[in-house]
Amino acid sequence: MSYVKPITEMQNGNRGAALMRRWILWMALLISELNSCEAYNTYIVGDDIGWVAKFTNPINYTEWASNKTFSLGDTLVFNYAANHTVEQSNSFDTYLSCDSTDNNDTTVLYWSSEGSTQSVVPLTSTGTTYFLCTAYDGSHCLEGMRFPITVAYGQGLPPTSPPSAGDDENQSPDLNNGFQLPPPPPPGSVPSTSRGAHPPKGPQLFNLICLFFFSAAASMGALL
């Protein structure tokens, strides 16, 4: 009988060490998941200068974009005077010619309208795409109002809401691919890259936290 108690204490000690290792593992997984949950980026094109013609302000938009990483779910915000346009194309020929009308380019998206001064563009597909201003017969584009970007997959697009019953089947297509745009920041109010637009991985993170607390509760029950 004199040896039963030490053996039992040793077993309890081993069990406690195992549970402690399990806790440490769960904490490491939780911290890793939290660190990986970065929000999508919002880029102000041209920063404080905005979307302007080169003869107004000599900004190199290709250079501006070259040191940034663009991914699905990110957003570009163009701030400009009403005499400019914002067009997007996947055609290199359109990018070179600064003319989207002569190349039978079916990929062109028009993000500006007459009199508009701001365009918010969500990045909803991967690969290389081009942005340009074709105002004044493309002269603004030829003077530098154009730039390419390459969009990586990154975290993927944020979840979209399914269409509700009774939606009009003949409604115009959604150029944003269901992407819910954040409200655009006013010019000059935020830096060119801001965090916090769309926190991703919500369900995955919630499930991980639940698993952690269930495991913690089970471990505490085993210790009692």
**Which fold does the domain 39-158+171-199 belong to in CATH?**
Immunoglobulin-like (2.60.40)
Cα distances (angstroms) measured from residue 196 to each of 73, 127, 210: 12, 24, 23
pLDDT score, position 4: 53
Whether pTM > 0.75 for this model: the answer is: no
Residues of the chain with pLDDT under 50: 34-36, 161, 163-203, 206
112: tokens are: 């500006």
Q: Mapping DSSP to helix (H, G, I), strand (E, B) and coil, where does residue 51 land? A: coil
- Amino acid 17: pLDDT: 67
pLDDT at residue number 144? 94
Q: HEC profile for 8-40?
A: HHHHHHHHHHHHHHHHHHHHHHHHHHHHHCCCC
Residues 73-90 have pLDDT tens digits of 999 999 999 999 999 999
Give pLDDT, residue 104: 83
- Can you give the pLDDT at residue 119? 98
